[in-house]
Amino acid sequence: MVAGLLRLYCIKIGILTVFVSAPALAQGVTPEVKLAREMLTELNQLRQNPPRYAAQLTAWASYYQGRRWQPPGQPSQRTREGVKGLREAQTWLNQVQPLGMLRSVKGMEQVALRLIPQDITATQFATELNAQGRWEGQASFCRSQGFTHARSIVVSWLIDDGQKHRPNRANLLNPLFRVVGVACVPQPQMVCVVTFAGGYHARTATPKANLPRPSSPQLP
């Protein structure tokens, strides 16, 4: 989905996204930190039971008016596929087996935060990953701008409107990804980045012995 107030990006190297809600302010937690935590929870709910998540999306069909899509409290967006994109995502989720939970890693969060003000390229993403530590296997990221609700962000990535190979969806449900970093910053619209990798070791941590050499980041 690329129209209206919302812009989404995905590069086959990492993923990240963060969100928060108002009650957190009273407890000393900023909205963006709360949102980031909710994003991680949402991602793991999706991965633990994809068919159940698909069933919960049925009500989201009512948020479409022709090709215009607007979840409650979120900016309106003009889509290419309309409600057919949502239905296709549900069908696809019903065929996906449960996956392992994603674990938040501080170093990956730092990478996500540093990527927020940038127009991210694969090279920049790899540079930031290597600057903070050492990553394993595959890595990728997802970027969202405009949405301020965790489920709205995840659903928009699942639908991946107009994207032939659904790269954002593939990142969310990649069985090789085990660690993530999520960060969100209002600029003034909320911008969130989620970074994904098979593993990640911060420079201050003691690396495990005989770790496989990470593969080079690749664009989808």
Distance CA 188, CA 191 (A): 8
In a domain, 79, yes or no: no
Amino acid 203: pLDDT: 80
Model confidence band, residue 4 (pLDDT cutoffs 50, 70, 90): very low
pLDDT at 21 over 50: no
Amino acid 207: pLDDT: 45
Helices (H), the chain: 23-26, 31-48, 50-56, 83-93, 106-115, 122-132, 150-159, 167-172
Residue 179's domain is classified under what CATH number?
3.40.33.10
In a domain, 59, yes or no: no
Chain segment 153-167, per-residue pLDDT in tens: 999 999 999 999 999
- Domain count of the fold of the chain: 1
In a domain, 155, yes or no: yes
Distance CA 15, CA 106 (A): 14
pLDDT at 193 over 80: yes
Chain segment 76-120, per-residue pLDDT in tens: 999 999 999 999 999 999 999 999 999 999 999 999 999 998 778
Model confidence band, residue 3 (pLDDT cutoffs 50, 70, 90): very low
In a domain, 144, yes or no: yes
In a domain, 219, yes or no: no
Q: Is the whole model's pTM more than 0.85, yes or no?
A: no
In a domain, 114, yes or no: yes
pLDDT at 148 over 50: yes
How far from the centroid of its chain's Cα atoms is residue 86's Cα? 17
Model confidence band, residue 26 (pLDDT cutoffs 50, 70, 90): very low
What is the average pLDDT score of the chain?
84
Q: In this structure, what token pair is assigned to residue 10? A: 């995905």
Q: In this structure, what token pair is assigned to residue 182? A: 């999520």
Chain segment 129-140, per-residue pLDDT in tens: 999 899 999 999
In a domain, 89, yes or no: no
In a domain, 61, yes or no: no
**Structural domain of 190:** 7-47+100-202
| SS3 of residue 195 by DSSP | strand
Q: How far is CA 9 from CA 82, 118, 119, 167, 177, in A?
A: 19, 12, 9, 9, 18
